[in-house]
Every structure is written in structure tokens, then in C-alpha cells.
Amino acid sequence: MLCRKEIEDAVETCLVKAGTTFRPDQLRAYRNAISAEKNENAKWVLERILENAKLAGKNTSPLCDDTGIPHVFINMGSSLSLPHDWLSAINDGIIRGLRIMPGRPMAVRGNPIERVEQSRGLYADPGKLSLAPVIVKPGKGGKLKITVLLLGGGPEIRAKTYRVFHQRSIDVVLGEAVRWASSEAKNLGCTPCVPAIGIGRTHVEASALMLEAMKEGSLSRQNRWEKKVTELINATKVGPLGLGGDTTALGTFMKIGPLRASGIRVVSMRPGCCFEPRKAAVVLG
Amino acid sequence: MITLQTPIDQREIEELKVGDQIEIEGTIYCGRDAVLPKLVRLIENHDLDSIGVNLEGAVIFHTAVSPAGIGPTSSNKVEIEGSIPALSKAGVKIHVGKGALSPKTVEELKRYHSVFAITPPVSALFSDKIVSQRIAAFREEGMEALYQIEVKGFPAIIAIAHGETIFASPRGG
């Protein structure tokens, strides 16, 4: 059986790694984009983002001051034995990671109405930033895979979950998601973006699939539809920070779930920022 | 690369063009959604002196300040973009943030001889540019208080100046 401390330590390590380092696929994508980019200001931005990632990794400091809202995705093997308080171990690992990284102290104080109105200020403790609802899916054998993702505020302003009349065409469905992403890219500001798209039966399911697309996606492994979405967004020439150029999106992550008989698909599109997806995973057991 | 020392002179602003890369030396005020409307209310009540802040020739960076560092937030949020005209009128010469601004704000910036600059959210790099920091006002807002930071070589690119904008179709159409 896994022990509580093992889970808590792993979650803490994942959170700090997610918020302070670029993965190899991100490093490769930025190097390729810098080589291909012809707009000098756009190239300058891409170089600064890469330089920032190297410095953040070296110093174990946040890539971005908006350290994001922690999300956890669990793949749980069927023959796994877990301590009864495994969920609280995950929560405690998140709190410890936020205090160590450090996360931005942006949790809002007060009762529900005071929180909406932000009338009682903020907690000074970054550990008060509570974990978003945890998603659990089946995994392999006796293994527990924990993925920690940090979702920044800019893309939340620009994300959209809505129904699309599919007309029995994937081009129609993805075309609508591309329109959403393209119209929001210059308002997002922190491009190049990495759109994540979930297609499901309900708004909750489509959003969960969008998060799963971020969890599973790699900028070095793109299917034909993901490449097509990226090409269409790059055709807008919004570019890094909106400065123009060829690099509006670095790649796209897409996940299609089970679907129902209907004239609509529910599509969730979140145009991740230039550091996203900030994620790290560990397999225990 | 154009180096600008705060407080920034009107003649320096007139020479800036969209796409210019700049480096700022000196004092930058940091504020965002929570504090900028409060600053505007002080200006409207002719009470800015009560917090000892002088905005003549000033730079305002749309950011929180916390142990996680600094980095631009979206300047097109209602409370931030809505503060730009009054702050420009009060003397702010450069607003630094990210994201497209509306045609109305482009006109207001021109009217008050102020510009909008953008900078990537490179918080690890920015930490090397900050010489010192202190809370200037509204401590109760935590990381969203009005901060005053001293910087060396703070990088940005001019995005909106004299009615011109890099965002060819502001608001993304």
C-alpha cells in the first residue's frame, strides 16, 4: 500500500516542477519557433520566454507571477491499495508546494458574497489557494499516476464552453473552436498560446476533456487535426504578445470523449498562455 | 533599444513609435484591478497628495507584486482599461501591460499624450530588474496594493502611440 507521506511529497514536487520548469517538448517548440520567426519583435519575445524558462528552472522560481490555480488529475489502477486519507494527502501536498514555490497569495477572504466582491482582502498565505475539484479516471494495474496542472488567469478570461451545431462534420466543429481561439488571441496578450479543446456531451464533461487534453498533450506529438487548428490560428498573424509574426500558437491539444445522438457537440476551448500547459506528473506504486 | 529614465518627459513620448523596444530606468508604480479605480477616485477628488504619489511623467505597470514576482495582467479588463484615461490625464506617460485595447482607449491615450507598452510575462527575468520595492498605498489589497518599484533596464515594446496600434483590429474583431 502507498503511504500518505509518499503521496504528499510527490504532489509537492510535481507542483513546484510544473510552476518553475519547461518540459523538453516546450523547449523544442520554442527553439523551432525562434528559428522560423521572421518578425524581429516577435523573435525577441520568444527568446525572452526561453531565457525566462532557463532562469526559472535554474533558480526554482515561478515561470510567471500568476502561478495559477492548482488542478489535479488522477489515473488510479484497479489493483491499487491507497491509505484512507489519500485525497487529503494530495491536498496537503498542494498546500506545501504552493508555500515552497512560492505560489502567488491570491486566495480571497470572507463569506461567499464577500469573496465575490473581494471586500475582505486576500490571504497572505499562498497555501490558502485551495485545490480545484480533482478528476479521477481508471489507470493501470497497481499504479497511481498523479498529474498536477497550474491554470493561469489570462486564459480563463478568454476560454469558452458552448454548444456547436456539428452538421456531421469535424471541420465545422473545429472551425468554430478556431474562430473562438483566433478572436481571443490578441486580447489574451500572452501569446504564443497552446489551445486545449475538449469535445463532449455536457459542459462539465467537455471542460474535463479539455483538462485531460492538457494533461496528455505534447507539443512534439501532434495529430493531423491538432496541426490543422494550429495552422489556422497562426494564419491570423497575431504573433507573440500580438506583435505580429508567424507564432500565434505553438501547438494544440484535443480530446474527444464519448458522444450522444444530437445535432450539437459541447466544445470547451481554453487558449493556454505562453507557459502552458504547466504540468508535471508522477507514477507511484 | 531606447532607454527612458523616469520621470518621462513629454518630448521623449512624442518620439516613440509603435514597435519601438524600450528599457525603463527608475520608478514604476504597480497596480491592477483592485487599486487602479481607487487611484482614479483620488485623482477625481484632487486628493492624490494624501498618499504621496506623483504621477507626472510616471510609468504604471499592470501587475500584482508578490513573492511569486511581477508580470503583466490583461490590461483590457474593465477596471484596468477604464483607469487609463484618468491616469493619463493626471500625468502617467507609459502604461505597461498586455493584450489589445479598445479604439476608444487608443484615442484617449493620444488625447492625453500617453502610450501603451507591452511586455512578456517573464517573472523570473523581471526579478533581476527590480532594485527595490515598497507599498505606496492601499496595503489592505495585499498583492494588489499600489506598489512602487525601482528598476534597471525593464524591457517593453511600444504597442499603442499617437493613435497608432499594433493591434490592427482591436478587441480581435
Cβ partners under 8 Å of residue B152, min gap 6:
B25, B129, B131
A182 and B172: CB-CB below 8 Å? yes
Assess whether pLDDT exceeds 70 at residue B170.
no
Q: Domain range spanning residue B21? A: 2-162
User: Residue B173: inside a domain, yes or no?
Assistant: no
Q: Looking at the domain assignment, is residue B171 inside a domain?
A: no
pLDDT for res A140: 87
Total domains, chain A: 1
Q: Least CB-CB distance to B124: which of A55, A122, A123?
A: A55
- Three-state DSSP class for residue B79: helix
Res B172: pLDDT: 37
Would you call B82 an interface residue with chain A, using a CB distance cutoff of 8 Å?
no
- Taking CA–CA distances from A238, the nearest residue in chain B reads B167
Question: How high is the pLDDT of residue A186?
Answer: 87
ipTM computed for the complex: 0.93
Query: How is residue B73 written as a grid cell?
Result: 495582467
pLDDT digits (tens, 9 = 90+) for B71-91: 999 999 999 999 999 999 999
Task: Give chain B's domain count.
Answer: 1
Domain membership flag for residue B136? yes
Is B130 inside any structural domain?
A: yes
Per-residue pLDDT at A64 exceeds 80: yes
Q: Does B85 touch chain A (CB under 8 A)?
A: no
Mean pLDDT across the stretch A17-35? 98
Q: What integer is the mean pLDDT of A69-94?
A: 96
Strands (E) across A99-252 are located at 135-138, 144-151, 160-165, 194-200
CA B43, CA B37: separation in Å to the nearest integer? 10
Return d(Cα A116, Cα A150) in angstroms, integer.
22
pLDDT category, A147, cuts 50, 70, 90?
very high
| Residue B173 clears pLDDT 70, i.e. is over it | no
Q: Please give the average per-residue pLDDT across A188-194, as a whole number.
A: 96
Average pLDDT, chain A: 97
Q: Can you give the pLDDT at residue A182? A: 95
Count Cβ atoms below 10 Å from residue A28 Cβ, excluding itself.
14
Beta bridge partners of B42: none
* B91 belongs to a structural domain: yes
CA A163 to chain centre: 22
Q: Note whether B143 contacts A106, CB cutoff 8 Å.
A: yes
* Phi, psi of A88, rounded to the nearest 5 degrees: -70, -30
pLDDT tens, position by position, A197-242: 999 999 999 999 999 999 999 999 999 999 999 999 999 999 999 9
Q: Which among B64, B167, B172 has the least Cβ separation from residue A184?
A: B172
Residue B111, all three cell numbers = 488625447
pLDDT at B168: 67
CB–CB contact B123 A121 (8 Å): no
The CATH number linked to B25 is 3.20.130.10
Q: Residues 6 or more apart from A28 whose CB is under 8 A from it?
A: A219, A220
Q: What is the number of other CB atoms lying within 10 angstroms of the CB of residue A145?
A: 18
The arithmetic mean of pLDDT across residues A128-153, rounded, is 96
Name the closest residue on chain B to residue A118, using Cα atoms.
B34
Residue-wise pLDDT for A99-125, tens only, equals 999 999 999 999 999 999 999 999 999
